[in-house]
Structures are given as C-alpha cells and as structure tokens.
Amino acid sequence: MEKTKNRGFLESKATFESLRPCFLVMSKLQIKTYPDNVLRKKADEVDGVEEVEDLIKEMKETLREVEGVGLAAPQVGVSKQVFVVKDGHDYFAFMNPEIVERGEETITTKEGCLSFPDFWTDVERSKRVKIEALTENGERMLLEAEGIGAVVFQHEIDHLFGKLFIDELGFLKRAKMKLSLLLK
C-alpha cells in the first residue's frame, strides 16, 4: 500500500508539485540567526499557557528536527518569554522565568546556539541555579539545576532578555565568530 503511494509521487510530477504547499506548512519554524534584531529585544511576559500553546508545540517540534537542546521564542521571531529544553527524550517548556538564586561556583563549557550556526566557544556560568518559572501545566514552579542543565537554563533565559552567549567574548573571538557566520 505504502509502496504504491510512493511510486505515484515519483511518477507524477503534477501530483508532487501540487503537494508542495503542504510541505511548507508542515515544515519547522524558521530560526533567526545573528544579527537579527529580535535576538536583542527583551521579550514580553506571557499572560498564560493558552496564549502560547501552539507556539510551544511548534517550538518543540522544531527543536526535535534540528536536534538541539534548547530554543527560546525570540529565536523563532516571537518576542515572548517562552523557551523549550530537551531532557533525555523529553521536551519541556517554561515561561516567564526568573533566576532567583545562583551558586558561587562556576562552570565553563563549550556553548553553541542555533542562532549562530557552526560557532562554539567557552562560556563561564554559574554551576548551580534556582529558577522560578511557569510550567506548561500553568503552575509557577521552583526548579534547581546543576552542571549542563544549569548552563542550558541560563543560556535560554538570557535569550529572553536580549542577551547572547557571545556578549562576554573578547575582540578576537568575536571576529572569529563573525567570520564563521560569513563563511556559512
């Protein structure tokens, strides 16, 4: 059955062309890359989960397709305080987050960002953070993250305030970053 259908696609160009708009609708959200202005704007708080339900679904789908670990709404051109993260095989969304506590210890890891294709650099961040955020269930929750989890949360929350992982880079590394984006 499936085979017959596939052969139909290949044999009839007209059918394939007519299906094209469908593929476009189904495709993932477009990821904005540096230096798009939306990446520098402070995102608006959301009033509730209902307001961003569809966006969350699409962001999770997009993150799955690009095999990333975190995605913030400004990265898909929506200036709202929403981000999704991957944990194992699961995807979670958080809204209106606030870092309420930072541990004194720091951790330096090589970070990348979907808005900076093919660029990675060492970034130093707090090793442990406590975050208050609205979950998909509409509950305001207190979360504690450590290590890589803490890094991902800080990176995504920064996005919601127009802050990027390249902001602390020196002149040379920044030049390298710009070059890598030009060569992309």
Binding site residues, Ni ion, CB under 5 A: 113
Residue with Cβ nearer Ni ion (101 or 167): 167
34 and 178 Cβ atoms separated by less than 8 Å: no
Residue with Cβ nearer Ni ion (56 or 155): 155
CB of 22 to Ni ion, least distance (A): 30
Handedness of CA 54, 60, 63, 64 (dihedral sign): negative
Q: What is the DSSP string of 34-88?
A: TT-GGGGSPPBPPS-HHHHHHHHHHHHHHHHHHT-SEEEGGGGT--BSEEEEEET
CB of 3 to Ni ion, least distance (A): 42
Write out the H or E segment, with its range, that includes residue 125: strand 116-126
Active site residues: 156
Q: Cα–Cα distance between 184 and 53 in angstroms, integer?
A: 33
Q: Cα–Cα distance between 5 and 171 in angstroms, integer?
A: 56
> Of 34, 77, 41, 42, nearest to 59 (Cα)?
77
Residue with Cβ nearer Ni ion (134 or 153): 153
Identity of residue 177: M
Residue with Cβ nearer Ni ion (15 or 30): 30
Based on C-alpha coordinates, what's the Rg of the chain? 19
